[in-house]
Structure 1
Amino acid sequence: MDFLKSAVASAIAKGPAFPYSFGDRVDLDPSIWTLYNGTRREDGSNCSIFSFDVTANKARLPLARNALKKLRTLRHPGVIKVLDTVETESYIYIATERLVPLRWHVKRKSLSPETLKWGLFNIARTIKFINDEASSVHGSLKVASIFTSESGEWKLGGFEVLSNVKDDDAIIYNYGSLVPDAARYTPPELARNGWDAIKRSNHWVVDSFNFGVLIYEAFNGDFAGSDQAGQTKNVPPTMQTGYKRLVNANPKARISVANFLDMGQRHGAFFDSPLIKLTDGIEKLGVKTEDERESFLEDLNDLTDDFPEDFFKMKVLPELLKSVEFGGGGPKAFGIVMKIGTKLSNDDFEAKVTPVVIRLFANPDRGIRVCLLDNLPLMIDRFTNRIVNDKIFPQVVGGFTDIAPIVREQTLKSVLVFVPKLSDRTINGELLRYLAKTANDEQPGIRTNTTICLGKIAKNLGTSSRSKVLIAAFSRSLRDPFVHARNAALLALAATVEHFTPEDIATRILPAICAVLLDKEKLVRDQATKTMDIFMQRIRKAAAAMPDSVLPPPAVAEANGAARMSTPQPDANNGAGGSGGGWAGWAISSFTNKLSAAAGEIEPGATGTPPAATTPATTAPPSSRPTMHSTASASTLHRQAVRSPSATQPMSRNSSSSNVGGDSFFADGADDADAAAEDDAWGAMDDSFGDDGGDAWGNDDAGSDENSDPFSAKPVKKTTTATSSRTASGSGGVQPFGDDDAEPDFAGWLAAQEAKKKSNIAGGGKILPKGLSKTGGASSSSSRVPSTSRPVAKPAVKPAAKPAAKPVAKKINLAPKDDDDADGWGDGW
């Protein structure tokens, strides 16, 4: 093989320039030619080269020269296309389009019956042209004389003895028998009488017999001799009648190839097939009327998958693309393009289809755009990421804002196809901006599809903004008036649960889902319950991994001097009927602790005269625990512990202020059993926070007795019993604390507060909220302290100024919310 190539190269070097390079040798049936695959040096395009060695086969040189002459002069679509020729004394080269011998396909039986019919149809038309228009006879028609081009079309060659019958010295008469395998394919009359017998009958009878042999050979693979002529094995039934008349032993009874062609083109005959109609009309597609084009495309779409791929790739596809882009073929023609494109290699698709598709995406025709988006899944894998990001997707995004809803919807659906090819920057930037617009679209279906789309591309979103985008989008969809949009949001949340942190689930997602647990539509309610269960499983798993508490142990807290609060423990005394008071036990216990500390800090003083300040060190605690009246319950003590005394009673500011947050405020001196006595302690505590608008915890700007701070007066020195009696009888007010040895009268002080509230109501003050009991009336008052129905009068003399040297502790406003809080819990809960 290498020797042959070198010999050919040396021969070319001695002769005229031949701008083609020889490649591999192609196997042929017995022939005077040697066939090579070649390439054109100028552009590297493929070709085939027929080579004839003059010195090695000088006897058949007239046959080679006749073939060269006829190929140069005979022009027909069914004839091999010649690119260049070279003839010297030592060789003849004919460069043609790239060809493959038909024998290869026949041996492998790789052609379907419809494709065989289509090929025979093309050869029949070519023979008709040679016999009728050229008044010639081929003389060597057989499988070895036929080749297939890159488009799969059958091309006729073997022109060694092609002759014009009008020429008396035609080569066929003298050299017909020199053609290789001539004896096997020679008609019976020529075998008996010689080639001159052609002159005594119609010139086309030779080609008619040979065409009949070609039919048998194409469907059966081989032809042994004239004895097989007329056998119908594997020949289509519709073709058998015409086939027998072609191979009739009597030349006068034979029909011409032209007659056989006419028979086959009748309605319902063997050449009346969609494939043949397609190939016959594809080149005229651009000049067809709209109705003709529509009918042609319908027939083309009905083709099965056994059509010749090469022909569709090389011939049909370019014509269809031109029809789609310029000829008005529209979406139907593009659908056929995609059907053909699935059988193309990536290189062929990129070379033939991709440039046209890029131009079509820029086409403003909405029908074309929708068709492109519909067929996008069939071709997206053929595009590189760079082409999608730089050339296709920038043209597609215009569909998100198109005025036609169908274009917006198809553009939205195409996102799922585009996302694997898009860069992270495009997804998290441009794409999300457009999805935010479609999420607010006027069409409910587009809004719903946007939610579905976001759920499916969640894994492609950036981790830094993924949860934020999804929560915002799905929460909005949960409020959508369209039922399927809400349901889609719940489904999307359930599908993307792994993308959310437990904190996001607890604080943002679950509250949004709770809003649709009682949706008006059962579809939404059921899905909301399922989605809630999914997220609650995630929350339970996260909560199980958390520590029991982040507070330091009690031993560490006591070592650090931290405030200690009596908290109920989960023991037998903390049950529903135990002394712990259930879940409210700790709060009542704390107030009792405060009572124990405050009882030893507040001292009696004269009303109406500013008492002198004293330090906490000079205030001696009572020698024994005071004994309460039988009419006062433990809950009354609790209320009075947090209720403000009247403005006429001074209190040590320094001691009370410093105790807020200190050990004495949550002291353990009170008995836990007293702390949980009655259930109405909550209402009594609310009473003590001053419904008249005052601050029960130390505002210094009170201007009247009703609004004054009971705990805002300066601390006073210890006074005598006479002073206390004089205060009670002389001022007409209520003194909550008696002598040093007497018990503190919280009930009397409470009665005075209720009298003030009645006075406020009469004067236009606020009405107590429902449920707050007015406890501690006259029946609860101590006999030693008179109860009045009017509020305590304003002191005649303003309190003395604070000592300059005594620092004042920072006040903490612990007052509850205003009464306009309807639910009673407010933000503090």
Structure 2
Amino acid sequence: MDFLKSAVASAMAAKGPPFPYNFGDKVDLDPSIWTLYNGTRREDGSDCSIFSFEIAANRSALLLARNALKKLRTLRHPGVIKVLDTVESETYIYIATERLVPLRWHVKRKSLSPETAKWGLYSIARTVKFINDEASSVHGNLKVASVYTTESGEWKLGGFEVLSNVKDDEAVIYTYGSLVPDSGRYTPPELAKSGWDAIKRSPHSAVDAYDFGALIFEIFNGSFSSDQAGQTKNIPPSLHPSYKRLANPNPKARLTVAHFLEQGRRNGSFFDTPLIKLTEGVENLGVKTEEEREAFLDDLDQLTDDFPEDFFKMKVLPELLKSVEFGGGGPKAFGLVMKIATKLSNEDFDAKVLPVLLRLFGNPDRAIRVCLLDNLPLMIDRLSQKTVNDKIFPQIVTGFTDVAPVVREQTLKSVLTIITKLSDRTINGELLKYLAKTANDEQPGIRTNTTICLGKIAKYLGTSSRSKVLIAAFSRSLRDPFIHARNAALMALSVTSEHFSDEDCATRVLPAICPSLIDKEKLIRDQAVKTLDVYVQRIKKAVESMPETALPPESAISGNPRMGTPQAEAAAGWAGWAISSFTNKLSAAAGDITSSNGASSVPASSSAPPSRPSTAAPITSNSSASPLYRQAVKSPPPSAPLTRNPSTTGELFFPEDGNNDDGADFDAWGDMGDMDDDDPSTSNKMTASISSNQSNDNPFAEPSSSKKKSAVTTTASSKPFDDGSEPDFAGWLAQQAEKKKGGVLGGSKALPKGLGKTTTVTTAKKTTVPVKSKPVVVKKKIDTKPKDDDGDDGWGGW
């Protein structure tokens, strides 16, 4: 084959005029005077077919070849093979045409559906009618071998070797008709008896009418012989009456092809099919009236999948695209475009459909935009990520702010389709901004769909902001007055639980769900129970892996180290002083306490009750609280949550900048309300207490004032603990006990005020216990309620 190609090319270059086409593979044909090759045009590489006739190898048929060349050049009809170029020399004849495939291939493979066969026969009948009537000619070689299909699937007529005008007495058909290869099988009975001159004595269309009947039988059965003329095997019943008249032995009684075509086009007849109507109307789609266009598109939409795909791709699709973009075809035409586009290869889609799609997304017509978004799932797999992210998405987002709710809603739904084609930066940046707007949309359906959308795209969100965005959005939806919006939020929380940390589940999600348990709608209450159960099970599973306690082992606490000494701090941290100094809750106390050097560390005015800020929430008072405690219970600014300093054991501080890392500012999603842990309106009031089981944390109260205050920081120090007001009475008592043992008790130093010989301590049971110089620890519940009387009870008053 390569040798033949090179030989042909050498012959062209050496002996003939230039031929701007390259020869490709040889195509198998029925017996013919021509050799058919696939070819390409050198200028643009487009496909073509080349009919080659070598004069030296088949000189006896040279007249037939030249007749075919002449007729193809001069005969112009949509049903005739389209000629691109021809060349004739002393050694060869080349005819370049549109790319063709022999109809014989489809007949052998039986790949023609009945509707496609009818459509093809209709096209050939129109062409034969034109040859017989308008051209006053006889084809004389009508058979399957003379018919070809184009890239669009259309049937084209060739085989013009003996095509002759009946007005020409010296026409080729009279003399050389019998030289056509395999002509004996298709010769009409009158010509078989009397020769080809009999054409002059009968209607000139009779020969082509008989051959057309043979063509019908051959298409539906695969082959034809003269004794099968008129048989109806495998031929559709609707064709039987007219087909039999085509095969009539009497040429004068024979039905002409023109009459056959007319009968077939009658209403309800065999040529009255949607596919045939389509072929007649598609080329004039742009000039049809609106009513005609609507009727045409309705017929086109009813077509089934057994119609020729190539025709839709090459002929119908371009016309529909023109109609959508320029001719007013509208959404219906575009729906048909996408129906056809699903059968295109990726290369054809990129070449024929994609450029128009990109232009249509920029079209301001809302009907076109909605139609594009509706059909986006059909095309998304054909679109590259770069195309969607850089060219289509910037056009789509304009729909989020459109004044028409239907456009906003369809734009929102399209997010689920294109999310896999968007970059992380686009998703977590621009897309979330638009979703935040639709979450506040005036249409409840759009708000609901936004919640559903966020639940479905949760896995595509960035891990750094995903939980914050979802909790903020779903918490807002849980308070939505629209019942389906609340239900969607609960369902979304159920399916996105894996994206939240255990702490978020317990402190942020569950408190947000709980109000829904008593929702006025049963649908919400039932769904809230299901969602709550998901998170409760999640927390239970997380708790199973947690240790029983975070306290240090008891063995780590040795003895009762003196409060505030560096040795105690090194041995047991901040826990030692609490355990050694207070075995029960702090009892009510009053009065001044003298330090070891005899100077009072409590200001003279400390006995007066301090004034409370009018804006502060009430807190539980304790008459024995130290200034350190009073400092700790001061309300920190609401925006500064209590935080542990990891570098110092037991250190608590309020960040001065007021930032809350766990509640980043998502203003677009709205105020999360009671979801914020540091919201003073929803926080639980906490009462500071100190017990023997207390760990190393300083007591603190929940913020009770909304006014911003300066940061309060208590920091561990290597110096002994001294709050600057109350004495180290536990250490002092221990020292006095040692002196008593050594006989030194009672010296010149006076006891601190309130540690006299006898002090009364009121217990919960109103019992009076005499207290000597050695303190007595009563292991009963201490009544910390301040006394009503204003008298001095020996401890002084705060």
For Structure 1 versus Structure 2, the TM-score category normalised by the shorter chain is 0.7 to 0.9
CA distance in 2, matches of 1:773, 1:792: 16
The unaligned stretches of length 5 or more in structure 1 are: 569-585, 604-611, 619-640, 646-650, 658-674, 677-709, 719-735, 752-771, 778-788, 794-798, 800-813, 816-829
The alpha-carbon distance between structure 1 residues 562 and 358, as it changes in their structure 2 partners (threshold 3 A), is closer
Q: Secondary structure at the match of 1:353?
A: helix
CA distance in 2, matches of 1:642, 1:10: 114
CA offset digits 1:719-765 (Å, max 9, x no partner) = xxxxxxxxxxxxxxxxx97973xx423569x99xxxxxxxxxxxxxx
CA distance in 2, matches of 1:550, 1:55: 105
2:554 is aligned with 1:591: no
Aligned ranges 1:649-728 → 2 under 5 Å: none
CA distance in 1, matches of 2:92, 2:41: 19
Question: Contact 1:513–1:528 at 8 Å: present in 2 too?
Answer: yes
Aligned ranges 1:795-814 → 2 under 5 Å: none
Partner letter of residue 297 of structure 2?
A: L
2:458 is aligned with 1:461: no
Aligned ranges 1:750-789 → 2 under 5 Å: none
Question: Contact 2:494–2:531 at 8 Å: present in 1 too?
Answer: yes
Q: Secondary structure at the match of 1:94?
A: strand
Partner letter of residue 584 of structure 2?
A: S
| C-alpha displacement of 1:589 | 5.0
Name 1:550's counterpart in structure 2: 550
Partner letter of residue 498 of structure 1?
A: E
2:504 is aligned with 1:504: yes
The alpha-carbon distance between structure 1 residues 51 and 775, as it changes in their structure 2 partners (threshold 3 A), is closer
The alpha-carbon distance between structure 1 residues 2 and 591, as it changes in their structure 2 partners (threshold 3 A), is closer
Q: Secondary structure at the match of 2:293?
A: helix
CA distance in 2, matches of 1:347, 1:613: 94
Name 1:202's counterpart in structure 2: 203
CA distance in 2, matches of 1:613, 1:272: 117
Question: Contact 2:474–2:492 at 8 Å: present in 1 too?
Answer: yes
Aligned ranges 1:311-350 → 2 under 5 Å: 311-350=311-350
The alpha-carbon distance between structure 1 residues 111 and 542, as it changes in their structure 2 partners (threshold 3 A), is same
Aligned ranges 1:490-529 → 2 under 5 Å: 490-529=490-529
Partner letter of residue 310 of structure 1?
A: D
The alpha-carbon distance between structure 1 residues 790 and 159, as it changes in their structure 2 partners (threshold 3 A), is closer
Identify the range of structure 1 (468-477 vs 23-32) with the bigger mean alpha-carbon deviation: 468-477
| C-alpha displacement of 1:591 | 3.0
The alpha-carbon distance between structure 1 residues 323 and 539, as it changes in their structure 2 partners (threshold 3 A), is same
Partner letter of residue 77 of structure 2?
A: H
Question: Contact 1:738–1:745 at 8 Å: present in 2 too?
Answer: no
Question: Contact 2:622–2:784 at 8 Å: present in 1 too?
Answer: no
CA offset digits 1:404-443 (Å, max 9, x no partner) = 0000000000001101111111111111111111011000
Name 1:279's counterpart in structure 2: 279
| C-alpha displacement of 1:516 | 1.3
CA distance in 1, matches of 2:354, 2:501: 43
2:304 is aligned with 1:304: yes
| C-alpha displacement of 1:377 | 0.5
CA distance in 1, matches of 2:574, 2:376: 70
Question: Contact 1:566–1:590 at 8 Å: present in 2 too?
Answer: no
CA distance in 1, matches of 2:72, 2:595: 133
Name 1:59's counterpart in structure 2: 60
CA offset digits 1:6-53 (Å, max 9, x no partner) = 221121111110000000000000000000000000000000000001
CA distance in 1, matches of 2:275, 2:377: 27
CA distance in 1, matches of 2:756, 2:168: 157
Partner letter of residue 548 of structure 1?
A: E
CA distance in 1, matches of 2:581, 2:262: 109
CA distance in 2, matches of 1:591, 1:167: 131
CA distance in 2, matches of 1:64, 1:446: 71
| C-alpha displacement of 1:551 | 2.2
Name 2:357's counterpart in structure 1: 357
Question: Contact 2:399–2:408 at 8 Å: present in 1 too?
Answer: yes
Aligned ranges 1:569-584 → 2 under 5 Å: none
Q: Secondary structure at the match of 1:259?
A: helix
Q: Secondary structure at the match of 1:414?
A: helix
Name 2:98's counterpart in structure 1: 97
2:183 is aligned with 1:182: yes
Question: Contact 1:80–1:97 at 8 Å: present in 2 too?
Answer: yes
Choose 1 or 2 for highest CA Rg. Answer: 1
| C-alpha displacement of 1:548 | 2.0
CA distance in 2, matches of 1:349, 1:309: 14
Question: Contact 1:24–1:38 at 8 Å: present in 2 too?
Answer: yes
Name 2:117's counterpart in structure 1: 116
CA distance in 1, matches of 2:264, 2:791: 123
The alpha-carbon distance between structure 1 residues 100 and 790, as it changes in their structure 2 partners (threshold 3 A), is closer
CA distance in 2, matches of 1:302, 1:446: 34
Question: Contact 2:623–2:784 at 8 Å: present in 1 too?
Answer: no
2:745 is aligned with 1:744: no
Name 1:50's counterpart in structure 2: 51
CA distance in 1, matches of 2:790, 2:455: 70
CA distance in 2, matches of 1:419, 1:339: 23
Question: Contact 1:566–1:589 at 8 Å: present in 2 too?
Answer: no
Aligned ranges 1:83-232 → 2 under 5 Å: 83-223=84-224, 225-232=225-232
CA distance in 1, matches of 2:504, 2:785: 46
Question: Contact 1:205–1:256 at 8 Å: present in 2 too?
Answer: yes
CA offset digits 1:41-94 (Å, max 9, x no partner) = 000000000000100000000000000000000000000000000101110000
Partner letter of residue 523 of structure 1?
A: L
Q: Secondary structure at the match of 2:96?
A: strand
What TM-score comes out, normalization by structure 2 length? 0.75
Name 1:19's counterpart in structure 2: 20
CA distance in 2, matches of 1:564, 1:150: 90
CA distance in 2, matches of 1:53, 1:587: 121
The unaligned stretches of length 5 or more in structure 2 are: 560-570, 601-620, 632-690, 693-724, 737-752, 767-782
The alpha-carbon distance between structure 1 residues 497 and 587, as it changes in their structure 2 partners (threshold 3 A), is farther
| C-alpha displacement of 1:521 | 1.1
Question: Contact 1:26–1:36 at 8 Å: present in 2 too?
Answer: yes
CA offset digits 1:619-645 (Å, max 9, x no partner) = xxxxxxxxxxxxxxxxxxxxxx97579
Q: Secondary structure at the match of 1:100?
A: strand
CA distance in 1, matches of 2:183, 2:194: 15
CA distance in 1, matches of 2:545, 2:79: 81
| C-alpha displacement of 1:372 | 0.6
Name 1:407's counterpart in structure 2: 407
Q: Secondary structure at the match of 2:328?
A: coil
Partner letter of residue 42 of structure 2?
A: R
Question: Contact 1:737–1:745 at 8 Å: present in 2 too?
Answer: no
Name 1:396's counterpart in structure 2: 396
Provide the aligned C-alpha RMSD in A. 3.5
Q: Secondary structure at the match of 2:19?
A: coil
CA distance in 1, matches of 2:531, 2:241: 73
Question: Contact 1:164–1:170 at 8 Å: present in 2 too?
Answer: yes
Partner letter of residue 406 of structure 1?
A: V
Q: Secondary structure at the match of 1:36?
A: strand
| C-alpha displacement of 1:307 | 1.0
